[in-house]
Amino acid sequence: MTLLATGVDLCDMRRIEQTIARFGERFLDRVFTPYERAKQSVGLVLPE
């Protein structure tokens, strides 16, 4: 039997922002696929 499912994860966006600010590209590369990165990279502004 094959099971195919999708889901939604809830998270505190402040924690994600803090993590991106701390780890930058390293975090984004680890968490998101290249397809997801390419799809969203247009609107993403990384903190400096």
Q: Is residue 31 part of a domain?
A: yes
- Which pLDDT tens digit goes with each residue over 2-36? 878 888 888 888 998 899 999 999 999 999 888 88
Type of residue at 46: L
> 39 in a domain, yes or no?
yes
Does residue 2 sit within a domain? Answer: no
In the prediction, which pLDDT does 23 show?
95
Quote the pLDDT of residue 15: 92
Q: How many domains does the chain have?
A: 1
Nearest-angstrom CA–CA distance, 48 and 39: 22
CA atoms of 20 and 14, how far apart (whole Å): 10
> Does residue 7 form part of some domain?
no
Whole domain around residue 28: which residue ranges? Answer: 12-48
